[in-house]
Amino acid sequence: MSRRGEFDVIVVGAGAVGGALALALARDGFEVALVEAREPKPWRAEDEVDLRVVALAPDARALLDDLGAWAAIAAARIGPYRHMHVWDALAPGELHFDAAEQGEAALGWIVENKLVQSMLWRALHEDRLCGSGGSRDAPAANPARSIAASAAPTGVRMHCPGEVADIEDSDSGVTATLADGTRLRARVLVAAEGAESSVRTRLGVPFEGRDYAQRAVVAHVATERPHAGTAWQRFQPGGPLAFLPLADGRCSIVWSLPDAEAARVLALDDDAFRAELGCAFDFRLGAITATTPRAAFPLRLRLAERYVEGRGVLAGDAAHVVHPLAGQGMNLGLRDVACLRRVLRAARERGSDLGAEHVLRRYERERRSDNTLAARGFDAIERVYGSASEPVAALRGAALSLVSGVGALRHVLAARAAGR
């Protein structure tokens, strides 16, 4: 038997972006249904640092703090960085950013993706529902298939495990039918379940972009000299190499390499890998003294052609996937959250239909423009800095020297990365 619930917003995907959005809207008094395929594994301090890390910008930190999740994240395991150093393997010229120049305590924080998601998931379960808890969803007929009535902040109804099987859009609302027969109706449906979003596919929104024919090799390494609270990045013809400071004194590396070269590097024994990595990094922190097992993931550029289809909205990686060279993927997604939250809150204050086209288009105009500009910018940097041409390398070196020598330019770039 189908069950129907009435909500303001249905959020599909409880990763960092979907979880933050559901929590933000619930804290603002919206009725939210959150659909997630599987409960995330909890973060544990005794576990090895997860290989997937993100560089959170100050505006992302502010959002997480506003949602009540940052304190738990900061108390767990974060690596603040106060400096950023960038240089080119083929040309002179280096670029250095200092948090003190921005009047900030840190330029950003290196945090495990798993930790962010886990603490948001915990925040989503801190407040208990009492009876209907303000939610208009009927009790789940199969408790084993849903944790809907167990624990969530007032205004959020969980459906986990849950999967959207069908979407019906109309002038009055959107209905999502889950695989177990549950029917959820709302004013707005948000796809936030990642790059392979099935909801985006069901909404019929195509994307453009390209495969970089690269993979990012990731690992955590110990170095002869301390990382000094600095995020390091060296541009090489095959792709950028980043050393990101972890809380335990090690560095998380993200080494973008052509597919065949990435496969070769993954196959090296630890001694050979440490030697080759140290050489690629110009031994800026001395020898690489230890490494964890390595992993790799493919690099792609994906930009949804539109962010709104009827009452459906795209956010996070469902809308945009960018090259990791600037570490901005999650920051862009959390900016989507902040914008959509602001737009929906303003619509409610005006008494507008939350899913009205003029409301959702406001979100699309702001975020699609900003995300496309960022993605195309990262793509251009990858193309230019991936070139082994000597004239191009000379121009790169001159550009780095120019930016390094003009404090106002450094300030603008740092402010942009911080979301200001």
Rama region for 232: left / alpha / beta (φ>0; ψ in -120 to 50; rest): beta
- Residue 184 falls inside a structural domain: yes
Give the SS3 label for residue 265. helix
Q: Calculate the CA dihedral of residues 398, 402, 404, 409 and round it to 10 degrees.
A: -140
Give the Cβ contact number of residue 76 at 10 Å: 17
pLDDT value of position 420: 52
Residue with tokens 């490494």: 291
- Residue 218 falls inside a structural domain: no
- State pLDDT tens for residues 376-416: 888 877 776 665 666 656 666 556 554 444 444 344 455 55
Residue pair 197/45 in contact (Cβ under 8 Å)? The answer is no
* In 50-136, alpha helices (H): 58-66, 70-76, 113-124
Q: Which domain holds residue 358?
A: 3-43+118-207+301-379
- Residue 374 falls inside a structural domain: yes
- Residue 289 falls inside a structural domain: no
Rama region for 274: left / alpha / beta (φ>0; ψ in -120 to 50; rest): alpha
Say which DSSP state 30 is in. -
- Chain-centre distance of CA 191, in angstroms? 14
CA distance 338 to 342: 6
pLDDT value of position 406: 44
Helix (H) or strand (E) holding 158: strand 156-159
- Residue 173 falls inside a structural domain: yes
Q: Count of residues for the chain? A: 420
* CATH number of the domain that residue 122 is part of: 3.50.50.60
pLDDT value of position 137: 39
CA distance 132 to 139: 8
CA distance 104 to 19: 27
- Residue 137 falls inside a structural domain: yes
pLDDT value of position 391: 63
- Residue 199 falls inside a structural domain: yes
pLDDT value of position 161: 95
CA distance 270 to 290: 8
Q: How many helices (H) and strands (E) does the chain have?
A: 11, 20
Q: Give the chain's domain count.
A: 1
Among residues 85, 97, 3, 88, which one has the least CA distance to residue 58? 97
- State pLDDT tens for residues 118-148: 999 999 987 533 223 333 333 333 323 333 3
- Residue 294 falls inside a structural domain: no
**Tens-binned pLDDT, residue by residue, of the chain (420 aa):** 234 468 999 999 999 999 999 999 999 999 999 999 999 889 999 999 999 999 999 999 999 999 999 999 999 999 999 999 988 887 777 788 888 887 888 999 999 999 999 999 999 987 533 223 333 333 333 323 333 333 445 579 999 999 999 999 999 999 999 999 999 999 999 999 999 999 999 999 999 999 999 999 999 999 999 999 999 999 888 889 999 999 999 999 999 999 999 999 999 999 999 999 999 999 999 999 999 999 999 999 999 999 999 999 999 999 999 988 767 899 999 999 999 999 999 999 999 999 999 999 999 999 999 999 989 888 877 776 665 666 656 666 556 554 444 444 344 455 555 445
Q: Record the tokens describing residue 357, joined without a space.
A: 């086209």
